[in-house]
Amino acid sequence: MEENKHVECCHTHTGERKSHHSDEVKKNLVSRLNRIEGQIRGVKGLIEKDTYCDDVITQISAIQSALNSVGKILLEGHLKSCVVERIQEGDDEVIDEFLVTIQRLMKK
């Protein structure tokens, strides 16, 4: 995905792991999350107005799809930077961590 080309992960001087997304990627992710937040408020309004259930479920499905897109962007950036970096450092445990992360995302 093109959005992730400037994602880096590193360890801070305290040993804490952090990801460092480019301003472009952060802006993209925050924009997507703001839209999702608006969609959720919209669904709440639909429920409060007793909107037909199927219409509400359709909106919930769109929200889930949008969240999956955010997850895919983060996952791709994580794989291409953090995971690769840690493997290059000799930390093979990151592979098991990554597999658990994928399993968590696939449950949804």
- Position 107 confidence tier, pLDDT thresholds 50, 70, 90: confident
Name the pLDDT band for 41 (thresholds 50, 70, 90): very high
Question: 23 vs 27, 28, 31, 80, 87, CA distance in Å?
Answer: 6, 9, 12, 17, 26
Q: CATH number of the domain at 25-107, please?
A: 1.20.58.1000
The DSSP H or E segment spanning 27 is helix 23-48
| Structure confidence at residue 72 (pLDDT) | 93
Instruction: Give the residue extent of every domain in the chain.
Output: 25-107
Q: Say what the pLDDT of residue 52 is.
A: 97
Q: DSSP label at 16? A: -
Helix (H) or strand (E) holding 10: strand 7-11
